[in-house]
Amino acid sequence: MSNSFKLNQPNPLLIVISGPSGVGKDSVVQRMKERGFPFHFVVTATTRDRRENEVHGRDYLFVSKEEFARMIDENELIEYAIVYGDYKGIPKAQVRDAFASGQDVIMRIDVQGAETVRKLAPNALLIFLTCESEEELEKRLRERKTESADSLALRIATARKEFQRLDAFDYVIVNQDFHLDDTVEKVRAIINAEHLRVHQRQVDL
């Protein structure tokens, strides 16, 4: 009997959700989790202080600078960077374990980190989240009330630079205020379409 109609299982995808501070990366990932999307969500390691509503192991892996230095020394991170004075990094083991079980992997990282992942894994799927305007971004950052005036100005200036890096990404989505589910559906549509490609992305780490 001919196997000419047999299709291989899609390769697991390494999906990066990125964009400037304040565009809603955390909210998009959180809503995907709430809706039970079948992905492994990478938990980023960071040396920054835990915010009041954050949970260790769910939102971030909160580690000391000494522990982070050990992870760097032992080559346990896919990428890491200093972000506003604190270290953030992506543990390799999480991604490899998820791939081994055939799961897609989603990581939420800043634009600099996304470009590092692209160098390491050229076939990663990079999605850039943005706001409708710079004014909207500034409004969202102010409403978070987690920034000093100096920190707010730095994040806005950084965002302007990050918008110039758009060419490094595969897709761009405007995450409109009060339309979170629309954004999540767009992310899901992109991932579904990628799994239907004839020439699959192949990621090796």
Residue reference for tokens 């953030």 = 88
Integer-rounded Cα Rg, in Å, for the chain is 18
- Confirm if 95 and 205 have CB atoms less than 8 A apart: yes
Report the candidate in 78, 82, 149, 63 with the shortest Cα–Cα distance to residue 120: 78
Choosing from 51, 58, 142, 197, which is the catalytic residue? 51
160 is catalytic: no
CB atoms within 10 A of CB 164: 9
51 is catalytic: yes
CA–CA distance, 63 with 41 (Å, rounded to integer): 18
118 is catalytic: no
Choosing from 35, 96, 142, 144, which is the catalytic residue? 144
Q: Which residues does the annotation mark as catalytic?
A: 51, 144, 155
